[in-house]
Amino acid sequence: MIDMNLIPEWALNIHPLVVHFPIALLVVAAGLNLLTFFIPKKWWDEGKNTILYGLGAVAAIAAYYTGQSAADTVFLPSQAQSVLNNHADWAFWTVWYFGLYAAARIALHWYKIMDKFSLRILAFVIALPGVFLLFQTGDHGAKLVFGYGAGTGQLLEQQSSANASATTDSLLQSNSTFTVNDNGNWSWEIGPNGVSTLLSKFQWLEGAPQDLQPSVVKSGDNYLIQLTPESSPNFFTVRNVLLNMQVDYYLDLSNFDGEVELVNHVQDAQNYDFVTLSSEGTITQGRVIGGETNIFGEESYSASGILFVRTVVNGTHFRAYINKEMAVHGHGDAPETGKVGLRLNGSGTVIIDSISLTQLN
């Protein structure tokens, strides 16, 4: 995978400015390429077409990297995560397609065979799938801007309304604080019965519930569940399996010494994906396969008190946010369906305010 960190953190977000250049250059290149077959060569020729395709490919590369940088600076709602990933994937293939296409055209000129009519026809036909890739990239980008970002936000409002109308808090009706929606999304807001909810909704892969000494504490009008591990590690997950997901955690790790793994796509205790927060101030993202750890990304963070941590897994894209700021963004093979949970390895106290899961398309 291409390195995504070519744009320095201090650089301004120029993606909205850059993105128009590849669209204009490549669309004009394809249009003039077609026109070349009907006008005299002295007015416009294949050499000029190749220059436009080359400039368009360079502009596409610039737009791609500025887009990767821009994506890491915004905090998006769950409905936009799939659109963002699709936009990035279409852009990736657009860059490669037109990069190779422009290089091939330059080679044909180098060997002085570009003037053959059959090759000119073939070259134009080969450019058309690239225009389709460009359209898909731009279409998904427009949805991000006008649906979820700087535009009207109408898509977000419509989807939020649709989700609200399709939701029933079936478990809430039985006085449980663990609520499940019709679409499979769930949330756990800690209540007075937090310990019984922990025992009934989660299963243990390592350690045991009693090793956590779980108890419910109150902070003002808010209930919290306090976990104090006696032994390490302690690994527990929900029971249902999912694929693409966003999980939001509100946690306080101020009095914990060790590592808290926010795990997802768990197959068993030896195979799972994770985002690890360490008491040393590092956040690590990766995958455990057969007990062997593979790191997708690692960064440092500085935050205390109740943390809002969001983990997002959608296809080959893995993101983690702390207090609504991108903390780590890694890439890996798409995971299999699996479970969500926590793995505690250390001593001290972990406090959970709430956990919620949203499935992504």
Mean pLDDT on 321-339: 92
Shared domain for 220 and 355, answered yes or no, is: yes
User: What type of residue sits at position 68?
Assistant: Q
Asked whether the beta carbons of 3 and 15 are under 8 A apart, the reply is: no
Residues of 233-258 as b/e, b for ≥16 C-beta within 10 angstroms? Answer: bbbbbbeeebebbbbbbbbbbeebeb
- Residue 188 resides in a domain: yes
Residue 56 structural domain:
15-159
Q: Which pLDDT belongs to residue 304?
A: 84
- Residue 167 resides in a domain: no
- Residue 2 resides in a domain: no
Q: How many domains does the chain have?
A: 2
- Residue 10 resides in a domain: no
In the chain, the percentage of residues whose pLDDT exceeds 90 is: 68
- Residue 164 resides in a domain: no
Per-residue pLDDT of 208-256, as tens digits, reads: 999 999 999 998 889 999 999 987 899 999 999 999 999 999 999 999 9
- Residue 4 resides in a domain: no
- From CA 313, how far away is CA 244, in angstroms rounded? 6
Q: Which pLDDT belongs to residue 149?
A: 63
pLDDT tops 60 at residue 160: no
Asked whether the beta carbons of 286 and 273 are under 8 A apart, the reply is: yes
- Residue 5 resides in a domain: no
Q: Which pLDDT belongs to residue 163?
A: 46
In the chain, the percentage of residues whose pLDDT exceeds 70 is: 89
DSSP 140-156: HHHIIIIIISSS--HHH
- Residue 165 resides in a domain: no
